[in-house]
Amino acid sequence: MLTTRVIPCLDVHAGRVIRGQKFSADVDVGDPVELARKYNRDGADELVYYDITASAEQRDIFQEVVERTADELFIPLTVGGGVRTADDIRRMLRAGADKVSLNSAAVANHGLIDESARGFGSQCTVLSIDTKWNGEFYEVYTHGGRRATGMECAAWAREGVERGAGEVVVNSIDADGTKDGYELRITRSVAESVSVPVIASGGAGRLDHLVDAIVTGKAHAVLCASIFHYGMYSIDQAKRHLAAHGIAVRL
């Protein structure tokens, strides 16, 4: 039986981990390498870094963070943000990442997913989707949630998987940082639409929210930020809570 993964997510800005709400960035949480070391020690299944600045002048800083982190980790590391070309993907993998997350660049150039899957493998290629309810459907947004695309989330997930994405992250813009729970309706819709693992992201505030994402949302993994960064719960508490509800985890 495949185990459910618990994955801390670290948003990196100018070499620091920050945390905001609904894609705003305002609170300095700490040093990314120190936090990565802590989460690795505490039993995280994987770790995700998003470079939320992704400007040219910051990319070298982010790459250095990835390199330093990879030297410390014994769990898979996914990185995203500012990844626009196959060369960017190659650079992140060489820096020590195990997977690369594609978001805005994949929307702009759908073929980037094919290129990544062919060149580096589907196991290295993650499609990350930022989505928001627009009153009619769950729409895909890019550029940190600022730009609407007119694309429907589940349809884009299906296309991404057909092109070679090995897993899909569904991140709710509305729920992000609110601690009110994951957006279960779209998480489940995507999970039922694709044949690869789906990761729920955005909104975890209580341990029951993680259970809901797996049981109701049909996710295969949960991405969490605030509940771990602010010490609300430990990774061990999260995993034991999932296990108590009959969900297979690695303890």
Measured on CA atoms in the order 122, 123, 126, 127, is the torsion positive or negative?
Answer: positive
Confidence of residue 21 (pLDDT cuts 50, 70, 90): low
Q: Which tokens go with 59? A: 């990319």
Tokens describing residue 157: 């997930």
Q: Write down the catalytic residue from 45, 130, 176, 212.
A: 130
Residues contacting 84, CB < 8 A, separation 6+: 105, 112
Sign of CA dihedral 232, 64, 172, 129: negative
Q: Taking a C-beta distance cutoff of 8 angstroms, is the pair 235, 39 a contact?
A: yes
What pLDDT score does 60 carry? 80
Residue-level pLDDT at 24: 56
* Closest of 129, 132, 125, 119 to residue 97, by C-alpha: 125
Is 130 annotated as catalytic?
A: yes
The pTM for the full model equals 0.94
Tell me the one-letter amino acid at 83: V
Phi, psi (degrees; rounded to nearest 5) at 80: -150, 170
Average pLDDT, stretch 174-181? Answer: 91
| CATH homologous superfamily of 5-244 | Aldolase class I (3.20.20.70)
Dist. CA 11–CA 121, nearest whole Å: 25
53-63 burial: b if 16+ Cβ within 10 Å, else e: bbeeebbebbb
pLDDT over 60 (residue 25): no
Q: pLDDT: is 60 or 88 the higher one?
A: 88
11, 88, 176, 212: which is the annotated catalytic residue? Answer: 11
pLDDT score recorded for residue 219: 99
- Cα separation, 53 vs 221, in Å, equals 26
- Alpha-carbon distance of 228 to 235, in angstroms, equals 7
CB 113 within 8 A of CB 163: yes
Question: Which of the four pLDDT bands, split at 50, 70 and 90, describes residue 22?
Answer: low
- Quickly state the pLDDT bin for 58 (edges 50, 70, 90): low
Domain ranges of the chain: 5-244
